Chain A
Amino acid sequence: MQLWLIPILPLAGFAINGLFGRRFSKSLVNLFAIGSVLLSLAWVLKTLFGLGDLSAAHAEHYFTWIQSGALNIGCDFAVDRLTAVMLLVVTGVGSLIHIYAIGYMAHEGGYYRFFAYLNLFMFFMLVLVLASNFLLLFVGWEGVGLCSYLLIGFYFDKQFATNAGNKAFIVNRIGDFGFSLAMFLIFVNFKSLDFAAVFQAAPAASQATLTTIGLLLLVGACGKSAQIPLYVWLPDAMAGPTPVSALIHAATMVTAGVYMTARSWVIYTHAPAAMNVIAIMGVATAFFAATIGLAQNDIKKVFAYSTISQLGYMFIGVGSGAFGAGIYHLVTHAFFKALLFLGAGSVIHALSGEQDLRNMGGLRSKIPITFWTMMCAAVAIAGVPPFSGFYSKDAILAAAFEKTPWIYWVGVITAGMTAFYVFRAMFLAFFGTYRGHAHPHESPPVMWIPLAILGLLSLGGGAFLPVPEFLRGVFHAAPEGPPNYGLMGISVAAGLIGILIAWIMYVARPGMAESFADSVGGLYKLVYNKYFVDEIYGAVIIKPIVNGSRVLLWKLVDVSGIDGLVNGIATWCRGVGGVLRRIQSGNIRSYATWVVFGSVMLIVAMGLAEGLAR
């Protein structure tokens, strides 16, 4: 079915725009950038229709990439139902965000560069989801990391943006180190990196091996999907343009960790300890990121912590054995969080760059389309039935309740907080009176049409896309039992209470939020400053490394050790040379004397040795 066309099209867009885009007009850049992604989407749809119900995976082999001893890595793509879901999310949401970016980036410099990077990102993301062995997946994995770095640092003349890019790249290296170790371990144990071969052999391996592999893969997922303790890069990644935040840091790339763990479900189902670690890490991240989100004033920061929190939910699902539910939440989250980010971008665009919630307010009447579309996302993420977030969150929480009830309860509290902070942002931005000084204007259709489509998907994506049902065959999951309306009611109530509190604090009785923050001053400061995690990392990890490098490695080992050795040898040679140079008198007769002396010595030596050896 020519699966290779799916990633190659955006790569071609990248190559054309990257090489010649500087000389292109904006509409020509648009043609190649958006055209290639739309063609890719079209090819995905054609492929999926052509492949029928996909109950068995469809694999394609293109060429042998690495052959060395037992190691045989092919450039292989495969499509099963899981990949199909990911392909649709990546190309679908990706296309919408590309279109949106036409409007958002219209007034920015480096237009062609932006779209070239975005297309390159699409290429690597599609390689990631299509790959049918771990190494090819890792190629995509690293590639999206590179594009993430390039796009976070898109405004490269701003120090904070380049710093944020570096931070994302370096933190991800830690995760990738774990991923590499996992791949080595997989190869050592299973003599292959192909998904099919590994997952067939995995059940027979010892539990200790599988747990180790699972935990190492989790380190990788933890870096890419911004989980505790490696989540610190994602909030800073908001330094990039907003479409990037929506596409890479909300909808697709950061969910790669979830996809990878779900893809490795065979390993995890045979390593319950690793599963528990995933679930606990997920619930801890979901909870702590949500608490931080409660007190942020930058609209993009609120949604960034929300993303971390929702990724935590996905890991709760995966860690509870409900892989389908995790992917379900991945899909719905891609809709509503991309929409929230794009909506935030629309607000920022309308206010000419203002991101602080305290300088917004009353925008409901000024930019109504943005307001109503963002409201769709807000009710979806808050878990209001019957919108998409309700279904996926409920599926995850139900699975968590069956496995570990306390995780369920923490999840419910988190759901309440999620509803609160999202509606806090909504109320601060759109209700009350306008507190800023810009002149808000509604975004052009090229921006709000993608918003509207994502709004529809956020509202209906849960009811009309039964993802867990679709994926049941992939994960060999048991059919779902009857819905537990009690659990459902509790989580919905938590969400509604969160919305209600936000309403009371920010709309009904404005000023209450400040007095409440003052009454719990210490706690508020702690949360407002993100638990000082960046500062703690700085003091505990970065500073010792920097000082260790500067004082120990540079001043001591390098300057006095290595340089000292080299300089010492040079000085010694110079001294010896200083003595030997006296022989070079420049006086021909003295040279002649040496020659005579030498030949006399030679003759004497020959005499002592009794003639030349025959």
Chain B
Amino acid sequence: MPLSQVPLSWFLMLSAALFAIGVAGFLFRRNIITVFMSIELMLNAVNLSFIAFSYQNKQVNGHLLAFFVMVVAAAEAAVGLAIILTVFKNRATLNIDEVDSMKN
């Protein structure tokens, strides 16, 4: 079946599923690296829905926005990984529940 015949809803369902997995990972995993990967997953789920809508409507805006999201994700990955490294150096842990010095 050619790509043009795949209905939009399939893409959106896939996107929603990916996003839900990302949210679940973000909420329930304690390892910072895993949490970080969940964020990437959510971003890509959103990218997928952008591309799907863009393809459906024959417009280029969605593609553009997807590129922006990718750039932001790359930047975020660079900064986020640096933060994670620093946290690990200072606390010798990657358990997210132990990083709570902002409590109260």
Pair B104/A581 contact, Cβ less than 8 Å = yes
Is B23 a contact of A596 with CB atoms below 8 Å?
Answer: yes
Given contacts A587-B97, A588-B96, A588-B99, contact A593 B27 (CB under 8 A): yes
Query: Which of A582, A584, A587, A588 has its CB near the most chain B CB atoms (within 10 A)?
Result: A588
Verify if B57 is at the interface (C-beta below 8 Å from A).
no
For residue A23, CB closer than 8 A to chain B, the reply is no
Q: How many residues of B contact A (CB 8 A)?
A: 14
Q: Is B26 an interface residue (CB 8 A)?
A: yes
Contacts of B104 in A (CB 8 A): 581-582, 584-586
Name A571-589 residues within 8 Å CB distance of B. 581-582, 584-589
Interface residues of A, count at CB 8 A: 11
Contact A592 B100 (CB under 8 A): no
Contact residues of A between 248 and 269, Cβ < 8 Å to B? none
Rounded to whole angstroms, the CA-CA distance of A581 and B27 in the bound complex is: 21
Determine which of A582, A586, A593 lies in contact with B100 in the assembled complex, contact meaning CB atoms within 8 Å: A586
State the majority secondary structure of interface residues on A: helix
Q: How far is the CB of A540 from chain B (nearest CB, A)?
A: 60
In the bound complex, what is the Cα–Cα distance between A593 and B24 (angstroms)?
10
**Distance A585 CA – B104 CA, assembled complex (angstroms):** 6
CA distance A312 to B98 in the complex (A): 90
List chain B residues, Cβ under 8 A from A588: 35, 96, 99-100
- Complex Cα–Cα for A582 and B99 (A): 17
What's the nearest-Cβ distance from chain A to residue B49, in Å? 14
**In the complex, A585 Cα to B30 Cα: how many Å?**
16
Indicate whether B102 reaches chain A with its CB closer than 8 angstroms: yes
CB interface residues, A 550-597, toward B, < 8 Å: 581-582, 584-589, 592-593, 596
Tell yes or no: B101 within 8 A of A by CB: yes
CB distance from A554 to the nearest CB of B (A): 39
B103 at interface, CB cutoff 8 A: yes
Could you tell me the distance between the alpha carbons of A587 and B26 in the complex, rounded to whole angstroms?
Answer: 12
Query: A596–B26 Cα gap in the complex (Å)?
Result: 10
Closest to A588 in B: B96
Interface residues of B in 15-43 (CB under 8 A from A): 23, 26-28, 30, 35
- Look across to chain B and name the residue whose beta carbon is closest to the beta carbon of A582: B104
Bound-complex Cα distance A593 to B96 (A):
14
Instruction: Please tell me if the beta carbons of B96 and A585 are within 8 angstroms of each other in the complex.
Output: no
User: Which residues on A sit within 8 Å (CB–CB) of B102?
Assistant: 584, 586
Our pick among B27, B35, B103 for the contact of A585 (Cβ within 8 Å) is B103
Residues of A within 8 A of B101 (CB): 586
- State how many angstroms separate the Cβ of B36 from the closest Cβ of chain A: 11
Q: Which residues of A have CB within 8 Å of B27?
A: 589, 592-593, 596
Q: Say how far B39's CB is from chain A's closest CB, in angstroms.
A: 10
Do A589 and B97 have beta carbons less than 8 Å apart? Answer: yes
- Give Cα A313 to B68, complex, Å: 98
For A589, list chain B residues within 8 Å (CB). Answer: 26-28, 30, 96-97
Contact with A along B36-79 (1 / 0, CB 8 A): 00000000000000000000000000000000000000000000
State A589–B97 Cα separation when bound (angstroms): 8
Q: Which of chain A's residues has its CB closest to B97's CB?
A: A587
Interface centre among A581, A586, A593 (most CB of B within 10 A): A586
B91 vs chain A, min Cβ distance (A): 13
The distance from the CB of A588 to the nearest CB of chain B, in whole angstroms, is 5
Q: A582-B104, A584-B102, A586-B104 are in contact. List 8 more A-B contacts (CB 8 A).
A: A584-B104, A586-B99, A586-B102, A587-B96, A588-B100, A589-B97, A592-B27, A593-B27
Chosen A-B contacts, 21 in total, with CB atoms closer than 8 Å, are A581-B104, A582-B104, A584-B103, A584-B104, A586-B99, A586-B100, A586-B101, A586-B102, A586-B103, A586-B104, A587-B96, A587-B100, A588-B35, A588-B96, A588-B99, A589-B27, A589-B28, A589-B30, A592-B27, A593-B27, A596-B27
Q: Write the residues of chain A forming the contact surface with B, with a CB cutoff of 8 angstroms.
A: 581-582, 584-589, 592-593, 596
Q: Which residues of B contact A (CB under 8 A)?
A: 23, 26-28, 30, 35, 96-97, 99-104
